[in-house]
């Protein structure tokens, strides 16, 4: 049960982010030469739900552990915001590391766009309030037909892990009690034999 919980809690979210669904493309929304700019992308209802991932390339010595909003992403269709989220990158995944250039790429899950209507979607990323982060580039990755049950399955996985661990502890304690009871029974039997 513990292993099943671990697979659901840790393995499933990774697979859903990296393996499930199909790529709709990568949009570069920032680089040092041109700065931040909005990118448009055509999406179809057949792509729903669309997972939005954000990659940042930073200089190797940069720390992301301060907890402030590093970036903010906004997705708009026909003047209406369909996704808006600040990004701290505290839970980001390190996807690439170069020993030659001392750069690292971190990936943050910005969320799902579940209601996809055919048309043009605008993707814009702006800097947040966190300072001192030397970002080389920012890319938005889109995945179609992504699963929208990641958080539910992950929570179920952690519950199974907790239940399995609790069951293991109870079983160990029960075995210890049985051993203690057996030892007491043997001692009582020896006392009766000595008395006879």
**Interval 56-66: pLDDT, tens:** 999 866 667 66
pLDDT interval class at 6 (50, 70, 90) = very low
Q: Please give the pLDDT value at position 72.
A: 96
Q: Which of 1-5, 68-72, 83-87 has the lowest mean pLDDT?
A: 1-5
The ranges assigned to domains in the chain are 1-20+149-196, 22-146
Output the DSSP codes for 66-103: T-S--EEEEEEETTEEEEEEEE--TT-EEEEEETTTTE
Q: Please give the pLDDT value at position 96.
A: 84
**Tokens coding 182:** 């057996």
More confident residue, 193 or 71: 71
Q: Please give the pLDDT value at position 8.
A: 44
- At the topology level, CATH places domain 22-146 in Jelly Rolls (2.60.120)
Q: Please give the pLDDT value at position 191.
A: 54
Residue 186, phi-psi category: left (phi > 0), alpha (psi -120 to 50), beta (remainder): alpha
pTM of the model: 0.67
């Amino acid at each position: 049960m513990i292993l099943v919980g671990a697979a659901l809690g840790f393995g499933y979210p990774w697979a859903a982010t990296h393996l499930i669904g199909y790529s709709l493309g990568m949009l570069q929304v920032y680089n040092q030469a041109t700065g931040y700019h909005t990118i448009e992308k055509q999406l179809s209802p057949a792509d729903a739900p669309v997972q939005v991932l954000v990659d940042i390339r930073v200089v190797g010595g940069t720390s992301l552990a301060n907890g402030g909003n590093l970036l903010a992403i906004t997705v708009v269709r026909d003047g209406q915001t369909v996704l808006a989220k600040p990004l701290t990158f505290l839970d980001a995944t390190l996807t690439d590391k170069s020993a030659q250039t001392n750069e690292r790429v971190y990936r943050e899950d910005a969320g799902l766009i579940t209601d996809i209507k055919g048309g043009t979607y605008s993707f814009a990323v702006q800097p947040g309030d966190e300072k001192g982060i030397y970002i080389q580039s920012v890319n938005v990755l889109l995945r179609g037909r992504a699963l929208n049950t990641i958080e539910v399955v992950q929570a179920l996985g952690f519950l199974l892990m907790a239940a399995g661990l609790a069951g293991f502890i109870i079983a160990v304690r029960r075995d210890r009690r049985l051993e203690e009871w057996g030892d007491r029974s043997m001692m009582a039997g020896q006392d009766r034999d000595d008395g006879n």
